[in-house]
Amino acid sequence: MSQTRTPPRLSAWRDRLDARALGVYAALPVPLRTRARRLGYAFLPILQCGLAAGLAWFLAHDVLRHSAPFFAPIAAAIALGTGMGRRVRRGIELVLGVVVGVGLGDLLIRQIGSGPWQIAVVVVLAMSAAVFVDRGAIVGTQAASSAILVATILPPGSVGGYERMLDAAVGGVVALTAMALMPVHPLRRARREAASLLGVASSVLAEVSDGLEMRDSDLIRSALQEARGTQPAIDAISEQLAGARELVRISPFYRRRRPEEIELTGVLNPLDNGIRNIRVLARRAIVAVDDQVDVPPVLSSLIGGLAEALELLTQRMAADPDAPTDAAVHRALRAVASRAKRELVSGSGLAEIVMLAQIRSILVDMMQVAGLSKISALATLPPTVSTPAVEPELLEELPEPPDRPAPGIPPLRATRASMARYDDKRSSS
């Protein structure tokens, strides 16, 4: 069974914290340890929010001489937050919402007065204008709250509304500066999340393999449930990468990390597709066991081999000190792909055929996660038809379909890359 069985969340951070935990921490009940880990994970963003809020108050109160610039620290804290999503976007939405709400509210209240129906009209118009200007959720809510403030507390035409707009701008600028000069490492977090997901994928495949061998559908159901719980982690990685994309544009410390951000962004879709295909494979395995289908042992062994290859990919994604090289990961995945032949399910039923197809799809997805192009990944698979769309690295003779005569099957041939690998192996042996 996989040794990387972890929940789909920050496993690398959790493991490091657990490994270095003091006796007091280790003695805490599990719920308290979970909360302590969560606090440790969010502490740096919290510290960033606190410093930005204090600086925003200082600039608005002591430099600009606003009497009660409460919205400057509020804007800075909201723009930063504790999440690692699109923080730059949040800051811009907040400032835009305040400008729309205060400006429109002041203009309308000065003309129609203040009261219940006036507040309703101002809120509807301010939110409509904000949504028209920008689709962000924060824009609408901030426009509404700012318009309400003008309609209920700030006298129309007073400087209070405009000071509020300036305070929001100060808070937003301070937040952007804090993001640029005190960056929280979203790329590292996204990488750890992706490694954790790969660990889950490896664990699920290992349990599916064991369940097929032992004819234990409950074990496979447990693995399927674990795979179904990965979608929030995939969404979290997407948010973190969106934040990283913004950060590499504004932070002088992160501009050199642009290639890593592009690499991780390219990993997300095949990783998501691979997890989905693993879920389909697990469901089909449950059906096969429940229907008492004699699944060929070589098929369950192939799934187990794929799980072991994903263990190596997990270590590589986590950038462990003793992680295997890219070449080693590629060799492991290619070795599994070379065994995924249609002869494994020759004479078998629908369940086995579907499982083999899913294994091949998972291989293509995970090879893309490992850095191969989709064309290269498809080329590693043994052909299942006589005219594959992507020329395999090694073409095998396949029986011609009886309903379509052809001029003949080409002889066994290989690409230059595969022949070079074969020559290297032969010379080394």
Residue 284 pLDDT greater than 60, yes or no: yes
- Whether 193 contacts 10, CB under 8 Å: yes
Whole-number Å distance between alpha carbons of 80 and 50? 10
**DSSP assignment, residue 413?**
E
Tokens of 130: 């904000």
- Phi then psi for residue 338, to 5 deg, are -65, -20
What pLDDT score was predicted for residue 184? 65
Give the residue-averaged pLDDT of 300-309: 93
Residue 302 pLDDT greater than 90, yes or no: yes
What pLDDT score was predicted for residue 332? 93
What pLDDT score was predicted for residue 370? 92
Distant-in-sequence, close-in-space partners of 428: CB < 8 Å, separation ≥ 6: none
Residue 6 pLDDT greater than 70, yes or no: no
Give the residue-averaged pLDDT of 217-236: 86
What pLDDT score was predicted for residue 413? 38
Map tokens 């469901």 to a residue. 283
Output the CA angle 247-249-253, nearest 5 degrees. Answer: 65
Residues in the chain: 429
pTM of this prediction exceeds 0.75: no
Cα Rg, the chain, nearest whole Å: 29
pLDDT tier at 19, thresholds 50, 70, 90: low
Residue 276 pLDDT greater than 90, yes or no: yes
- Whether 121 contacts 143, CB under 8 Å: no
Residue 427 pLDDT greater than 50, yes or no: yes
What pLDDT score was predicted for residue 137? 67
160 vs 180: which has the higher pLDDT: 180
Using CA of residue 210, residue 216, residue 217, residue 219, what is the dihedral sign?
negative
pLDDT tier at 228, thresholds 50, 70, 90: confident
- 72-114 per-position pLDDT tens digit: 888 788 777 755 556 667 777 777 787 787 778 777 877 777 7
Lowest mean per-residue pLDDT among 49-63, 272-286, 351-365, 375-389: 375-389
Whole-number Å distance between alpha carbons of 334 and 412? 19
Residue 426 pLDDT greater than 70, yes or no: no
Residue 429 pLDDT greater than 50, yes or no: no
Tokens of 377: 């990944």
CA 275 to chain centre: 12
CB atoms closer than 10 angstroms to residue 288: 25
- Whether 91 contacts 174, CB under 8 Å: no
Whole-number Å distance between alpha carbons of 299 and 345? 8
Residue 354 pLDDT greater than 70, yes or no: yes
Tokens of 93: 């939405």
Residue 266 pLDDT greater than 50, yes or no: yes
Map tokens 């986590």 to a residue. 318
pLDDT tier at 65, thresholds 50, 70, 90: confident
pLDDT tier at 319, thresholds 50, 70, 90: confident
146 vs 222: which has the higher pLDDT: 222
Give percent of the chain with pLDDT exceeding 70.
Answer: 76
Output the CA angle 200-254-249, nearest 5 degrees. Answer: 105
Give the residue-averaged pLDDT of 131-137: 74
Collect contacts of 105-114 with beta carbons under 8 A, ≥24 apart. Answer: 105/146, 105/147, 105/148, 105/149, 105/150, 105/151, 105/161, 106/150, 106/154, 106/156, 106/157, 106/161, 108/147, 109/150, 109/151, 109/156, 110/156, 110/157, 114/151, 114/152, 114/156
Q: How many CA atoms lie within 13 A of 412 on its CB side?
A: 5
Distant-in-sequence, close-in-space partners of 316: CB < 8 Å, separation ≥ 6: 323, 324, 325, 326, 329, 370
CB atoms closer than 10 angstroms to residue 26: 9
Q: What is the secondary structure of 203-266 as a DSSP string? A: HHHHHHHHHHHHT-HHHHHHHHHHHHTTHHHHHHHHHHHHHHHHHHHH-TTTGGGHHHHHHHHH
- Phi then psi for residue 241, to 5 deg, are -70, -35
pLDDT tier at 310, thresholds 50, 70, 90: very high
- 149-159 per-position pLDDT tens digit: 777 776 655 65
298 vs 416: which has the higher pLDDT: 298
Give the residue-averaged pLDDT of 352-380: 92
Give the residue-averaged pLDDT of 222-227: 89
pLDDT tier at 235, thresholds 50, 70, 90: confident
Most confident listed range (72-86, 99-113, 350-364, 388-402): 350-364
